Amino acid sequence: MSQASQRSQANLAESIGERVTIRLREPEGGFRDIVGILQKFDSGTGELINSKGKALTFSENEIAIWREVKPLPDRAGAGAPYSLRINELELLSDTTWPADKVIEFGKWRLRISDGFTMRANSVLPTGAAPYGDPGIEISDAVQEIVKIYRDHGLTPTFTLPLPVFEELDSYLQHQGWSLKVGAEYLVNEIPKELELTRPDFDVVVRDEPSKEWLSVQSDFTLERIMRNYPAKYAEIQIQGKAVAIGRIATLGTWSLATRVFVNPEFRGRGIGNLLMRALMAAARTDGATKIGLQVDVENGAALALYRAMGFRFHHPYRYRVLNEVSPQ
């Protein structure tokens, strides 16, 4: 490991979401290396997910040297083992759409927020398959999180990246949890040049959502969550009126598009394509070279648009909810 590639331990937290290799000192002497996606590093302890989807913890005092591992080639959704790539994208979603409150329950992240947002009001398993390592028996863990969410006045909900957590998904289904949403995670590279000129439309990109942007989808209850992470907010306007909006946030070389919407009265005119190009251009100025987005499997028109723009399927995920107390 070259001296030029080494950086101070104090800067390790800046590499959250990146692939890193860390050399750790062994108590009896010698060293061992760990490699994976850095999940967190604070209060003197850290955690990364390795290529097998296993969470590895370490302390700051153990670190001898470390560096980021730059992915080659820089192709969206390629390179690392599949389970690790899924974890990377789910971390992108979790980080750029931050919940008001997160409870660490073993390797489950219990996300709790005000406002209607399934992602920020759901359990995200981040540990190893089959159940994501909640730290206790699966039946006890599920009972505990049901109580926690109901104590907060929320419907117990799981975000389940597949195929990594297929066994957990099956377990919940057999326990009476119903499928709320089935979705696809799509990825693409961001072109270096993007044409944004349309004589009949105006493209407006801001660093924060305007009142008009928020009013298009009545997103006022989500404003605090969206402001919890830096993002760009794009509008396509006709005669000063917003007819399409979207949000894009960047983490490292990745960006995530959310709240993408075109007014139904203006669909079929290429506005969705223009909006996505505006979002990608904004992300590229923030250093992103890749983009991800999530689409409901029932939204055939959106899936067709994204595939026509070169987006590729990466992995499916599901939301499961428990509306009634289920027998354990």
Query: Taking Cα atoms as reference points, which of 285, 234, 231, 284 lies closest to residue 261?
Result: 234
In the chain, CATH 3.40.630.30 covers 191-288
- Answer whether the bond into residue 161 is a cis peptide, omega within 30°: no
Residue with the bigger pLDDT between 263 and 116: it is: 263
| pLDDT tens-place string over residues 35-76 | 888 988 988 899 998 877 788 999 999 998 898 877 645 566
pLDDT range class, residue 132, cuts 50, 70, 90 = very high
Say if CB 326 and CB 176 are below 8 A apart.
yes
Pick the residue with more confidence: 128 or 6?
128
Q: Residue 2: which pLDDT band, with cuts at 50, 70 and 90? A: very low
Percentage with pLDDT > 70 across the chain: 92
Tokens of 127: 């540990």
Percentage of residues of the chain with pLDDT beyond 90:
70
Identify the CATH class of 191-288. alpha beta
Mean pLDDT of 214-239: 94
317 against 114, higher pLDDT:
317
- What's the chain look like in SS3? CCHHHCCCHHHHHHHCCCEEEEEEECCCCCEEEEEEEEEEEECCEEEEECCCCCEEEEEHHHEEEEEECCCCCCCCCCCCCHHHHHHHHHHHHHHHCCCCEEEEECCEEEEECCCCCCHHHCEEECCCCCCCCCCCCHHHHHHHHHHHHHHCCCCCEEEEECCCCHHHHHHHHHCCCEEEEEEEEEEEECCCCCCCCCCCCEEEEECCCCHHHHHHCCCHHHHHHHHCCCCEEEEEEECCEEEEEEEEEEECCEEEEEEEEECHHHCCCCHHHHHHHHHHHHHHHCCCCEEEEEEECCCHHHHHHHHHCCCEEEEEEEEEECCCCCCC
> Residues spanned by CATH 2.30.30.520 within the chain?
3-68
Mean pLDDT of 283-307: 94
| CATH 2.60.260.20, domain 3-68, yes or no | no
pLDDT 10s digits, 140-181: 999 999 999 999 999 999 999 999 999 999 999 999 999 999
pTM higher than 0.75: no
> Sorting pLDDT into bands at 50, 70 and 90, what band is 5?
very low
Residues 235-277 have pLDDT tens digits of: 999 999 999 999 999 999 999 999 999 999 999 999 999 999 9
One-letter amino acid at 1 equals M
Q: State residue 309's pLDDT score.
A: 93
Q: Across residues 189-211, what is the average pLDDT?
A: 92
Least confident range of 8-22, 106-120, 281-295, 309-323: 8-22
Cα–Cα distance for residue pair 168/133, rounded to 1 Å: 11
Q: What pLDDT does residue 75 have?
A: 62
